[in-house]
Amino acid sequence: MTNWMPTLRPGQGPWFQQIAEAMIHDVRAGILRPGDVLPPQRLLADLLGVHLSTVTRAYGLVERHGLIAGQRRCGTVVLDRVHAARLFAPEPQEDLIDLSTNVPAQNPRDRALDVLLGSMLQEQGVETWMRYRSSAQWQAALADGADWLTLCGLAPDRFSVLLCAGAQHALDQALALSHAGRDVAVECYTYPGVKALATLRGLQLHSLQMDGEGVLPASLTAVAQRGVRVAVVSPNLQNPTGACMGLARRQALAEVAARHDLLLIEEDVYGLLAAERLPPLAALLPARTLYVTSLSKTVAPGLRFGLLAVPPALAPPPDDAIHHTGWHMSPLMLALGCRMIRSGEAQRRLAWQRKEMLARNRLLDRALGVDGGQHSACPHRWLRLGEGTSPAAMVARLHRAGLQAVNGDDLAVGRPTVSAIRLALGAAVSRRQLERAAALLQQALSSVD
């Protein structure tokens, strides 16, 4: 719990308004950090010498701003909803190289999708693709999705396969099917989508400590012993850290989950970009793992083509499932995604994406003067800063120079443990623009050495 207490000034407005305004200011200024636990309302009322209803009214006002929320067991905590929301809707600025949003690189010379979509429209016309899909068409689409899951390393016949409108939708459905309650464990640094869902569903996120391979088995054991029953884990090119789990780490986490009756939600949208193709957690622990992936980060984000593989014991009846999952997909985009998988176009774009990300990582390594060793195709770079360097200050410095990055503190679950920023390499419109971004980054880093 923080020892936060505002200063009240007579004649400056009602007490509740002063308390609320002070809290809003301190959250936005970073004095109160995401995950901070505020003083209990009764304690703060006693310390300030005001009535309990005054503090209750102030907390309610700030909660309506989306900055704090009451959480079971730990009291009222500071949310990071404002920071995360900015990453979903960045405001374009002229002359700003925006590397804040994780998207796949684009090949402006590739016209294969134009040809593929054009052939579909010539075959049946737009009106046909705007109709609801028939049962036979849904079954064919599920078969195409199962083929993609096979490419990811799963045996689809061991799962119920659900089509979803992107990975975020699939993750939302996985949380619902897992009956997580309010307590869910996630990596100590995670991506904005997890935090957005936590806010929407009123979840209390529990931080899983990590090393260079991702989640530590001891940390997963610890949260299980505290009663948490569901953990969201990313074994491949974890966003934002880029961590990749070796086989032994995956086996250790599967063993912990089995021993403590944990359900794992494996978020694996970057798995097909990883240098080493290792078994997914869902292949090691199929009865207790819900597997989430999509074509958004490796093929084309606008398809909104997500996949959720669910253990049969957790799967909803087929008629119920389609209304909560595949029904949300555009029939045209569903058909296009399936056609891309069947024709090999999705696999070809995946191969190009992997090659392009390798090249962009090498480019950034050269600019920063670092040895990438076994170069990665990770689409995001987690850049640790020197001791005493504020990530907020670095992001502000880069923004003034014309480069937008993400403050690593905004991606922390609870209190940040390292000083870092994240760069989305795929967001650069070209390698030449990424070179300019790397030069700006190097200048900013040199200025604080």
CATH code, 112-346: 3.40.640.10
311 phi, psi to nearest 5 deg: -55, 140
Let me know if 118 is exposed, middle or buried by CB neighbors in 10 A (0-12, 13-18, 19+). exposed
**Fold topology of 84-108+349-446:** Aspartate Aminotransferase, domain 1 (3.90.1150)
Q: How far from chain centre, in Å, is Cα 442?
A: 27
pLDDT at position 82: 47
277 phi, psi to nearest 5 deg: -90, 100
Block residue for tokens 């998988």: 341
* 386, 392, 396, 401 alpha-carbon torsion, rounded to 10°: 30
pLDDT at position 39: 92
Residue 426's CB: how many other CB atoms inside 10 A?
22
The rounded distance, in Å, linking the Cα atoms of 95 and 100 is: 15
Q: Which residues pair with 230 in a beta bridge?
A: 263
pLDDT at position 375: 64
Q: Which of 103, 131, 134 is nearest to 423 (CA)?
A: 103
Residue 300 DSSP class: -
**Kind plus residue range of the DSSP H or E element containing 232:** strand 230-233
What is the number of H-type helices and E-type strands within the chain? Answer: 16, 16
B/e letters for 376-387, b = 16+ CB within 10 Å, e = fewer, are: bbbbbbbbebee
The rounded distance, in Å, linking the Cα atoms of 52 and 424 is: 46
Q: Which of 270, 263, 315 is nearest to 294 (CA)?
A: 270
pLDDT at position 372: 62
Please, which residues have CB within 8 angstroms of residue 445's CB and are 6 or more apart in sequence?
A: 368, 385
Do the strands 75-78 and 68-71 form a parallel or antiparallel pair, or are they unpaired? antiparallel
Omega into 240 within 30° of 0, i.e. cis?
yes
From first to last of its 449 residues, what are the pLDDT tens digits of the chain? 678 999 998 888 899 999 998 998 888 777 888 778 899 999 999 999 999 999 999 998 888 777 888 765 668 888 765 454 455 444 555 579 999 999 999 998 999 999 999 999 988 888 888 888 888 888 999 999 999 999 999 999 999 999 999 999 999 999 999 987 889 999 999 998 898 888 778 888 999 999 999 999 999 999 999 999 999 999 999 999 999 999 999 999 999 999 999 999 999 999 999 988 999 999 999 999 999 999 999 999 999 999 999 999 998 877 666 767 777 888 999 999 999 999 999 999 999 999 999 999 999 999 988 876 556 899 999 999 988 888 989 999 999 999 999 999 989 998 888 999 999 999 999 999 999 999 999 999 988 76
Is residue 285 within 8 A of residue 258, CB to CB? The reply is yes
pLDDT at position 353: 97
Is residue 367 within 8 A of residue 442, CB to CB? The reply is yes
Q: What is the CA radius of gyration of the chain?
A: 23
pLDDT at position 127: 87
Q: Would you list the domain boundaries of the chain?
A: 15-79, 84-108+349-446, 112-346
Residue 88's CB: how many other CB atoms inside 10 A?
11
Q: Which two tokens stand for residue 310?
A: 């669910």
**Fold topology of 15-79:** Arc Repressor Mutant, subunit A (1.10.10)
pLDDT at position 92: 53
Q: Which two tokens stand for residue 225?
A: 């012993």
Q: Which of 151, 148, 188 is nearest to 170 (CA)?
A: 148
Residue 12 DSSP class: S
The rounded distance, in Å, linking the Cα atoms of 166 and 154 is: 19
The rounded distance, in Å, linking the Cα atoms of 321 and 314 is: 11
pLDDT at position 187: 97
